[in-house]
Amino acid sequence: MNLEQLSKEQFIRDFKDTLHEEQLIKVARATPAELFTTLAKLIRRYYTDTWIDRNHKLSENKEKVAYYFSIEFLPGRMLETNLLNLGILDLVKESFEELNVDFQEVVEAEHDMALGNGGLGRLAAAFMDSLATTGYPGFGNGLRYQYGLFKQRIVDGYQVELPDSWFGSIGNVWETRKDHDIVDVKLFGDVYLQADQEGRIVPVYHNAQLLHAVPYDVPQIGFENGVINNLRLWDVEIPEAYELDYPTIEDRRRVQDITAVLYPDDSNYEGKQLRLIQEYFMTSAGLQTIVKSYLKQGLPLENIHEKVSVHINDTHPAVAPAEFMRILLDDYGLTWDAAWETTVQTMSYTNHTILSEALEKWDAELFKKVLPRVYQVILEIDHRFVSNLAKQGYDSGLIERTRIVKDNQIHMANLAIIGGHSVNGVAKLHTDLLKEDTLHDFYTLYPEKFNNKTNGIVQRRWTQIAAPELSQALDETIGKDWRKDIHQLDRLVEFANDDTVLDHFYQVKKVAKERLARYIRETTGIEVSTDAIFDVQVKRLHAYKRQLLNVLHILKLYLDLKENPDKDMVPRVFIFGAKAAPGYHFAKSVIKLINEIANVVNNDSSLQGKLKVVFLENYRVSLAELIIPAADVSEQISLASKEASGTSNMKFMMTGAITLATLDGANIEIKDEVGDDNIIIFGMDKDAVYSHYENHDYYARGIYESNPTIRRVVDSFVNGTIPNAQSEGTEIYESLITHNDEYFLLEDFSAYVAAQEKIDALYRDQKLWARMSLMNIAKSHKFTSDDTITEYAEDIWQLTKNE
């Protein structure tokens, strides 16, 4: 259906009809959830033909397609994005006004689709949007978890995790089940090889478990371009023929567990059999389908890399090269060499972290038990890799360090690198570190495989949807073209000295701050002033991200104010949002401490409202959309070298916050864009950090003992300053002093305090601050994921667009 022709009258008629058919009621009586479901169903009807057309055209034209394999996708809500991209968001908003319906309530009736933990999953979702928007044929492949990332509640200052039953009573209104694409996935059992009648060696399985992988497709709509791609999420079912194997509800539940929950571990290795099964299940199902649909085109299998790219997002789908080999060898009878050649050219891999605990390794015994045939294939890949390198004269140390199977473990990153043609990091510094350090051995073997693709964000969600007032101010300043071509934002630079424009943008930020202040009041009861600096750190709670450094500074301000209530400072509101992995004790203690510090600070009238601390529970995409446009300061203070890229740094920049940052990840590239005057950089750089590692000369206790300010702040964890958190305070104290402060907070503390003082001084000059803010918005276009994905499509996947 051509939506350009859609009129308000027509839409209202369609909407009323749909509501009547679906819910048997009239608009005035419908709940927001009913209105949401109805609206979603109606727009599904609007786009379905386009979606079907897209799939037809791609296979008719035999276009090359990239498949993005990711164990996480974190799109958040889809309604506004879908309406915006279909070009009817304003029309729908206006129609609802006519119908006397609060559109925002309808939006909020949609549950966040939270099939991801944080940055990695959000990136995968951004890439889906950008693939459709740029028009490249790129499909997602993941798992249809029944429960997404846990819902966080704060009780007595502690994090409590609740299941995120995101299907709720509504279900996922966007998905379509595709029964005709169901495939079988085999697990467990015994496998041996036997010659068949033609003398071909084939595997024979005994007692294997056979499951159905059932695909659910979620449309990915491009921005105003008529393109709809596909995100395929797999669910598990027991095939009818095998029902007798699962006589009890318990038996069935064990199978359903495969897609029951997203692992809530962020960048931590989770060593459970179930996790391995999850990873294999989605990888196998995806790859089998890809081969089947390729073969329908009647092309030779050994050339599959000419029409198909498979991207491995982090190591979770890194079994892909081995599984692809298994399919090509066992199911379709290709020779090893032909299969290997096309496999390597098909596969590519993104590394997301240098934290060694996140580079997945599987116990070989476990792997062999769950995936006996894939294990054999991996042994063969490993064997050939080793003997090849030995033949070429490489030294045994290098071979040992790079091989896949060693010390009774399977090294998944090694498999992804050896079995693919491309390895990329996610920001310049991160890629350099991979080459120099983490993956240096591989870099000497295959320098041509390495490349950088700095992360990006979907600018449409963070401006047009999350920041409507800012978007309108942009329209009024530089015209509306930026909505279609984000690089137009650069034209804002021309207005850097225009007082009226600067004031306009300053007021726009105020409006966003007022919206957040209202939410804070309603959800926490805390009153915050929008004249204060909104200083925000929202991201997963992790030691390397150093929320604790932020806490140390807050404690310093608190102690200063207690000593001198007249201290001259711009009022500050420190805002946190963060989930901690349920088993991550340290991270949970930091949350508890933040909440107890908030209790002390927010209830101390002697501070005269100069200091407020707010922890907003259940940080997620939809909450990010509320918080980020309201930030004055964006805290990006990870220890240099640890944050591969970061993406919230880009979202903050795009909505006019000033970045307070270490030289880590994409912060460096943000600095390069805005210039030194429009960002506050502090602390050790990567070389300083690495120098401590080399020389083993970091001594936290020494800093603590020689610096009275630091001592006073650190002591406040254990001297009763923060009541109700004795054990957490002790734990943190010990992590800093006894366990030598793994992330070098104490060394960076003084520079951080100085940087914060600089923020205070700059903020007093409203015009200067507004200009910095404007420059950040102007330069943020560099970080559009539309461009990032274009680089993936052109450099790694070699896709073309046939419009």
Ligand X SMILES: *Cc1c(COP(=O)(O)O)cnc(C)c1O
Catalytic option among 64, 77, 545, 612: 545
Stretch of 83-91, 274-282, 316-324, 616-624 contacting ligand X, by CB under 6 A:
616-624
Q: Please give the full DSSP string across 407-450, using - where no structure is assigned.
A: TTEEEHHHHHHHTSS-EEESSHHHHHHIIIIITHHHHHH-GGGE
Instruction: Check 651, 771, 779, 781 and give the catalytic one.
Output: 651
Residue 175 vs 266, nearer CB to ligand X: 266
CA–CA separation, 705 vs 652, rounded Å?
Answer: 37
Question: Given phi > 0 = left and psi -120 to 50 = alpha, else beta, which region is 76?
Answer: left
Among 18-26, 275-283, 646-654, 779-787, which window interacts with ligand X (CB under 6 A)? 646-654
CA distances from 565 to 233, 404, 560, 610 (A): 56, 61, 8, 9
- Pick from 624, 630, 657, 674 the residue near ligand X by CB under 6 A: 624
Report the residue number, 643 or 741, with the smaller CB distance to ligand X: 643
Shortest CB 625 distance to ligand X, Å: 8
Q: Which residues, 6+ apart, have CB-to-CB distance to 763 below 8 Å?
A: 533, 570, 632, 769
Q: Which one of the spans 15-23, 118-126, 160-168, 427-435 is the region binding ligand X (CB under 6 A)?
A: 118-126
- Does residue number 118 form part of the binding site for ligand X (CB under 6 A)? yes
SS3 670: helix
Find the shortest distance in angstroms from Cβ 354 to ligand X. 15
Q: Minimum distance between the CB of residue 119 and ligand X, rounded to whole angstroms?
A: 4
Q: Per-residue string for binding with ligand X, 153-192, x by CB under 6 A?
A: ----------------------------------------
- Among the residue ranges 140-148, 516-524, 642-650, 767-775, the one whose residues contact ligand X (CB under 6 A): 642-650
Cα 719 to the chain's mean position, in Å?
39
> Of 335, 344, 337, 349, whose CA–CA distance to 304 is shortest?
344
Which region among 115-123, 267-275, 414-422, 695-703 touches ligand X (by CB under 6 A)? 115-123
Tell me whether residue 72 or residue 330 sits nearer to ligand X (CB atom). 72
647 binds ligand X (CB under 6 A): yes
Can you read off the two tokens belonging to residue 772?
Answer: 């910095």
Contact pattern from residue 498 through residue 537 relative to ligand X, giving x for each residue in contact according to CB under 6 A and a dash for the rest:
----------------------------------------
For the CA atoms of 299, 301, 307, 311, the dihedral, rounded to the nearest 10 degrees, stands at 160
Which region, judged by CB under 6 A, interacts with ligand X, from 54-62, 551-559, 640-648, 756-764? 640-648
Region class of 525: left (phi > 0), else alpha (psi between -120 and 50), else beta: left
* 218-239 CB burial, b ≥16 within 10 A, e <16: bbbbbbbebbbbbbbbbbbebe
758 part of the active site: no
* Catalytic member of 64, 368, 540, 771: 540
For ligand X, the closer CB: 613 or 621: 621
The answer to the question of residue 125 lying near ligand X (CB under 6 A) is: no
423, 417 contact by CB (below 8 A): yes
Structure tokens at 143: 């798992």
- 151 phi and psi, to 5 degrees? -90, 130
To ligand X, the closest distance from the beta carbon of 749 in angstroms equals 21
Pairing of strands 190-195, 183-187: unpaired
Per-residue exposure over 665-693, b if at least 16 CB sit within 10 Å of its own CB, e if not: bbbbbbbebbeeebbbbbbbbbeebbeee
Separation between Cα atoms, residue 767 and residue 723, nearest integer Å: 41
* Least spacing, CB of residue 748 vs ligand X, in Å: 18
d(CA 512, CA 71) in angstroms, rounded, equals 34
Q: Which two tokens stand for residue 743?
A: 């992330």
Compute the least distance from the CB of residue 454 to ligand X, in Å: 13
Smallest distance, ligand X to C-beta of residue 467, A:
14
d(CA 148, CA 524): 25
Residue of the chain from 75, 215, 646, 656 that contacts ligand X (CB under 6 A): 646
Which of 342, 647, 655, 659 does the annotation list as catalytic?
A: 647
Q: Are 421 and 348 in contact (CB under 8 A)?
A: yes
The residue among 127 and 558 lying less far from ligand X, judged by its C-beta, is 127
Helix (H, G, I), strand (E, B) or coil at 230: strand
Contact pattern for ligand X over residues 566 through 605, marking x by CB under 6 A: ----------------------------------------
Quick one: 424 or 647, whose CB is closer to ligand X?
Answer: 647
Q: Is 621 in the site for ligand X (CB under 6 A)?
A: yes
Given 483, 620, 686, 781, the residue binding ligand X (CB under 6 A): 620
Q: What does the chain come to in residues?
A: 803
Minimum gap (Å) between residue 261 Cβ and ligand X = 18
C-beta of 142 vs 729, nearer to ligand X: 142
In terms of CB distance, is 68 or 652 closer to ligand X?
652
Rounded CA gap, 781 and 660, in Å? 19
Applying the rule CB under 6 A, the residues between 650 and 679 that interact with ligand X are 651
Question: Backbone dihedral region of 207: left (phi > 0), alpha (psi from -120 to 50 degrees) or beta?
Answer: left
Instruction: Output 486 or 737, the one with its CB closest to ligand X.
Output: 486
Least separation in angstroms between CB 122 and ligand X: 4
Would the CA dihedral through 595, 597, 603, 608 be positive or negative?
Answer: negative
Q: Do 79 and 93 meet the contact criterion of CB atoms below 8 Å apart?
A: no
Identify the residue among 144, 403, 504, 539 touching ligand X (CB under 6 A).
539
- Report the distance separating Cα 30 and Cα 136, nearest Å: 39
Cβ atoms of 587 and 604 within 8 Å: the answer is: no
Choose the stretch contacting ligand X; rule: CB under 6 A; options: 116-124, 361-369, 386-394, 770-778.
116-124
Q: For ligand X, how many residues bind (rule: CB under 6 A)?
A: 11
Contact segment (CB under 6 A) with ligand X among 117-125, 127-135, 345-353, 754-762 equals 117-125
* C-alpha 502 chain-centroid distance: 33
Whether 673 contacts 648, CB under 8 Å: no
Q: How far is the CB of 185 from ligand X (least distance, A)?
A: 30
Helix (H, G, I), strand (E, B) or coil at 510: helix
Catalytic option among 186, 212, 316, 539: 539
* Listed residue (310, 494, 331) closest to 419, CA to CA: 310
651 is a catalytic site residue = yes
- Is 438 a binding residue for ligand X by CB under 6 A? The answer is no
Active site includes 545?
Answer: yes
Single out the segment in contact with ligand X by CB under 6 A; choices: 181-189, 255-263, 512-520, 620-628.
620-628
CB under 8 Å to 773, separation ≥6 — which residues? 505, 506, 509, 656, 657, 658
Nearer to ligand X, 619 or 797 (CB): 619
Cβ closest to ligand X, residue 647 vs residue 773: 647
Does 119 participate in binding ligand X (rule CB under 6 A)?
yes
Task: Give the integer Cα–Cα distance in Å for 516 and 535.
Answer: 12
Question: Which positions are catalytic?
Answer: 352, 539-540, 545, 647, 651
Footprint of ligand X (CB under 6 A): 118-119, 122, 539, 620-621, 624, 646-648, 651
